[in-house]
Amino acid sequence: MKVSIIGATGYTGEELLRILANHPQAEIVHITSESQTGTAIESIYPHITGFYDKTLESMKDLDKLADSDVAFIALPHGHAMEAGKRLSAQGVKIIDLGADYRFRDVGVYEQWYKVPHTHPEANAVYGLTELNRDAVKEATIVGNPGCYTTASILALAPLVSCQLIELHTIIVDAKSGVSGAGRSLSLGSHFTEVFENLKAYNIAGHRHTPEIEQALSLLAGETVILSFTPHLVPMARGILSTCYASLKAGVTASQVDEAFQSLYQKEYFIRLLGRGGYPSTKQTRGSNFCDLGWHIDSRTNRVIVVSAIDNLVKGAAGQAVQNLNVMFGLEERTGLEQAPLYP
């Protein structure tokens, strides 16, 4: 497969390069950056020296990327639609790691992201692979999920799809490493602001909220509205999502166990730690795994699910490569069987 990466100098673009260096079926033909055009990629990311001998191009001439079988777009929201529209019209499959193709209702996208959607006819597929695999197989444009959303939806999907919880009681409390903020400089991600600090942000207004609600509403067959609070923690990588909900009357712990087993027991990248399990970010670091553990609080009749992923891998580039494999009929694990990094 001939692969291009549009926006190769951000953290997700770099992570795509790292993962695809070990993918036996992927040939990188174009990598782009508007701020670093003409620069050798290894001078920006020396850790991939020897893996690629490529210079960053501009995406202004999109037609030259039409020799690609697939283009990953790793750009901020609002910038993928032009490239997606033009390249898909020329037969190039698109995997967008931003938000532009994640929503079925473009009005929801415009409400939360405050930019017009210029490719509403795209018929994109939401690329949470474990839940939408059959649709991804046939897709020409995939909207790769966000990092918080991947961890949270995978945690809650068994409970919602099996109708075990009161939907109006869902609360998601999630924590992310600083790389989730991207590579661009900002005061909030400076070392002195982050080190020895923990803070919540965008309470009741984070843009991943409607994305989680969209996926869970489709599973439930009715509208789901939930509370989502993200936090920034002083580490480079990782998402830990702790999800709470009240069990419906009469639901037993064994029913909860069975819901997770029935949905995920055949999923290679979902590791079930079981009832009483405690996922942690270090156990998934650098890998495409999502670790899940759940607890029943009989005193409050709540279920608490803990989900851990690497935000740059399962929460971004790794899931994008997983979708690539599904779209092109390859073994889903291809290029992704790295064990987590530890310690």
Domain ranges within the chain, ordered by starting residue: 2-123, 147-310
Q: Assess whether pLDDT exceeds 80 at residue 185.
A: no
Rounded average pLDDT over 200-208: 97
How many Å apart are CA 59 and CA 35, to the nearest integer?
11
Q: What is the DSSP string of 303-341?
A: EEEEEEE-TTIIIIIHHHHHHHHHHTT--TTTT--PPPP
Please, which pLDDT band fits residue 182 given cuts at 50, 70 and 90?
Answer: confident
Give the architecture (CATH level 2) of 147-310. 2-Layer Sandwich (3.30)
- Please tell me the total number of residues recorded for the chain in this structure: 343
Task: Give the model confidence (pLDDT) of 113-124 as tens digits.
Answer: 999 999 999 999
Average of per-residue pLDDT across 288-292: 98
Mean pLDDT over residues 157-186, rounded? Answer: 94
What is the per-residue pLDDT for 124?
Answer: 98
* Range scoring the smallest mean pLDDT among 105-114, 180-189, 210-219: 180-189
Strand partners, 51: none
Ordered DSSP codes for 75-97: --TTSHHHHHHHHHHTT-EEEE-
Task: Flag whether pLDDT at 50 surpasses 90.
Answer: yes
Fold of the CATH domain 2-123: Rossmann fold (3.40.50)
State percent of the chain over pLDDT 70.
Answer: 100
Give the bridge partners for 266, in sequence order. Answer: none
Residue 183 above 90 pLDDT? no
Mean pLDDT of 319-333: 98
181 pLDDT higher than 90: no
Q: What is the mean predicted confidence (pLDDT) over 31-41?
A: 96
Interval 137-146: pLDDT, tens:
999 999 999 9
Per-residue pLDDT, 343: 87
With vertex at residue 181, the alpha carbon angle to CA 178 and CA 184, rounded to the nearest 5 degrees, is: 110
**Residues above pLDDT 90, as percent of the chain:** 96
Q: How far apart are CA 164 and CA 157, in angstroms?
A: 10
Q: Tell me the pLDDT band of 340, cut-offs 50, 70 and 90.
A: very high
CB count in 10 Å sphere of residue 77: 17
Overall average pLDDT of the 177-188 stretch: 87
pLDDT exceeds 80 at position 264: yes
Where residue 321 falls (left for φ over 0; alpha for ψ -120 to 50; beta otherwise) is alpha
Q: What is the residue-wise DSSP string for 189-217?
A: GSHHHHTT--EE-STTT-TTHHHHHHHHH
User: 162-172 burial, b if ≥16 CB within 10 A, otherwise e?
Assistant: bebbebeebeb
pLDDT in tens, 64-77: 999 999 999 999 99
The identity of residue 272, as a single letter, is L
Catalytic, 147? Answer yes
Query: What is the mean predicted confidence (pLDDT) over 17-45?
Result: 97
Of 1, 55, 3, the closest CA to residue 33 belongs to 55
What pLDDT does residue 57 have? 97
pLDDT at 245 over 80: yes
Using alpha carbons, list the distances in angstroms from residue 95 to 98, 257, 274: 9, 34, 32
**From CA 142, how far away is CA 139, in angstroms rounded?**
6
Name the amino acid, one letter, at 334: T
Q: What is the pLDDT of residue 184?
A: 81
What integer is the mean pLDDT of 181-204? 90
Question: How far apart (Å, rounded) are the C-alpha atoms in residues 115 and 29?
Answer: 31
Q: Can you tell me the mean pLDDT for 325-340?
A: 97
